[in-house]
């Protein structure tokens, strides 16, 4: 596979230390000589650029790693698109690999994804299985969210959740490669033909739902997404955003999460269907909240979720513009 070129894009926002360790894991992958591997590290105007540039110089990574300073913090999609443009300006690539700064690729992780895509030319996107920092597994992939999955999550009632399990967004995956709806953008290998067909990530999303949207657009263009568990990546969940850390009590969601969610459902289903989905959530959530209250499980609910949901809902006319 020496002739196969992979351009890695890492977008950092106040996560320079983690991004440097991620680059260090790429250095080990490059040392195998199996791939033509280069990287672009985008600082999304957070102040990380000097520290990352210094690390690249001090470690002798300058021949393959390029730090880029974004003129503004335009979000995850914006930063990745900027990194992709810089990577392709240095020469064509067979694959673009999006990698979170709070990850470290395990031995052979990138090569495994490339080999899979090389042997499955009809597949457009491939993603890894994840492990936590302590070595425990987090083998997750996802279904596209729907009215049924949103209602089930809002009600959060055991029997209903089990009954509607085949619509649940999160999927705990077995140790076998298979097609999925979408994968976590923390480790996403994209065939260059997919970008040529559907363009980059939608920069209207500041953060969240952009990889869901991208995989949906790719699927509709004839490029399915696959989960490839033989590729393993350590992911310190939530460290690059501070919102979705695993194994802690839920945090209040930022306004841009609700804006991204709203945009996704309107794009995926149209305005009327998106309104029906929000109506179902607003009807179902009080039942779930009451259940948690009765069982003294309020610590499991996201703070201020119902109020914030109403403010960000497509049911409000001002949110349809």
Identify the three-state secondary structure at position 132. coil
Residue ending a domain, among 235, 267, 286, is 235
Same domain, 126 and 226: yes
- Residue 202 and residue 106 share a domain: yes
- Shared domain for 27 and 121, answered yes or no, is yes
What would the pLDDT profile of 72-89 be if each residue is shown by its tens digit?
Answer: 999 999 999 999 999 999
Q: Name the residue range of residue 38's domain.
A: 5-139+174-235
Instruction: Tell whether 216 and 288 lie within a shared domain.
Output: no
Is the residue at 111 inside a domain?
Answer: yes
- Count helices and strands (H / E) in the chain: 11, 12
Q: Are residues 179 and 306 in the same domain?
A: no
Q: Is residue 37 part of a domain?
A: yes
CA dist 175 and 192 (Å) reads 27
Q: Which two tokens stand for residue 56?
A: 């690249």
Residue 244 predicted with pLDDT over 80: no
Task: Tell me whether residue 51 is in a domain.
Answer: yes
pLDDT digits (tens, 9 = 90+) for 2-55: 689 999 999 999 999 999 999 999 998 998 888 999 999 999 999 999 999 999
Q: Note whether 64 and 118 are same-domain residues.
A: yes
Average pLDDT, the chain: 93
State the total domains in the chain.
Answer: 2
In a domain, 149, yes or no: no
Both 119 and 260 in one domain: the answer is no
Residue 30 to residues 24, 40, 188, 283, Cα–Cα distance (Å): 10, 14, 18, 52
Structural domain contains residue 193? yes
Summarize pLDDT for 134-175 with one digit per residue, the tens.
Answer: 999 999 999 999 999 999 999 988 888 899 999 999 999 999
Using pLDDT thresholds of 50, 70 and 90, give the confidence band for residue 290.
Answer: confident
| Predicted local confidence at residue 298, as pLDDT | 61
Residue (of 257, 238, 254, 256) closest to 246 by Cα position: 238
- Neighbouring C-beta atoms of residue 176, cutoff 10 Å: 9
Question: Distance between CA atoms of 191 and 188, rounded to whole angstroms?
Answer: 10
Asked whether residue 191 falls in the same domain as residue 306, the answer is: no
Query: Looking at the structure, do residues 190 and 275 belong to the same domain, yes or no?
Result: no
Residues 210 and 61 reside in one and the same domain? yes
Mean pLDDT of 256-278: 98
Same structural domain, 62 and 124? yes
Closest to 4 (Cα-Cα) out of 124, 113, 114? 114
The pTM score is 0.94
Residue 166 lies in a domain: no
Tell me whether residue 49 is in a domain. Answer: yes
The DSSP bridge partners found for residue 105 are 233
CATH number of the CATH domain containing 187: 3.90.550.10
Strands 225-235 and 103-105 turn out to be antiparallel
Where does a domain end: 201, 235, 269? 235
| Residue after which a domain boundary falls, among 205, 235, 265 | 235
Co-location of 222 and 300 in the same domain: no
Does 21 fall in a domain?
yes
């Amino acid at each position: 596979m020496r002739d196969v070129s992979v351009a890695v894009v890492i977008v950092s926002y106040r996560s320079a230390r983690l991004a440097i360790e991620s680059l260090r894991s790429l250095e080990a992958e490059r040392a195998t000589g199996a791939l033509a591997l280069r990287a672009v590290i985008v600082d999304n105007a957070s102040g990380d650029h000097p520290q990352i540039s210094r690390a690249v110089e001090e470690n002798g990574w300058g021949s393959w790693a390029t730090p880029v300073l974004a003129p503004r913090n335009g979000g995850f999609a914006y930063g990745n698109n900027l990194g992709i443009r810089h990577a392709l300006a240095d020469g064509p690539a067979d694959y673009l690999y999006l990698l979170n700064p709070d990850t470290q690729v395990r031995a052979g992780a990138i090569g495994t994804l490339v080999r899979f895509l090389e042997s499955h030319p009809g597949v457009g996107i491939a993603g890894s299985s994840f492990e936590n920092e302590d070595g425990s597994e987090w083998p997750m992939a996802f279904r596209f969210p729907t009215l049924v999955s949103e209602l089930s999550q809002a009600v959060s009632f055991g029997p209903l959740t089990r009954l509607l399990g085949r619509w649940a967004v999160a999927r705990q995956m077995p140790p076998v490669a298979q097609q999925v709806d979408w994968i976590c953008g923390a480790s996403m290998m994209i065939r260059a033909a997919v970008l040529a067909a559907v363009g980059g990530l939608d920069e209207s999303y500041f953060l969240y739902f952009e990889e869901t949207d991208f995989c949906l657009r790719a699927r509709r263009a004839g490029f399915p997404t696959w989960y490839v568990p033989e590729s393993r990546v350590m992911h310190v969940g939530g460290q690059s955003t501070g919102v979705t850390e695993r194994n802690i009590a839920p945090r209040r969601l930022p306004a841009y999460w609700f804006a991204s969610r709203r945009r996704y459902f309107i794009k995926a289903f149209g305005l009327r269907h998106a309104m029906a989905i929000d109506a179902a959530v607003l009807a179902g959530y009080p039942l779930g909240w009451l259940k948690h209250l009765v069982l003294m499980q309020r610590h499991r609910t996201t703070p201020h979720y119902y109020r914030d949901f109403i403010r960000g809902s497509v049911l409000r006319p001002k949110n349809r513009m």
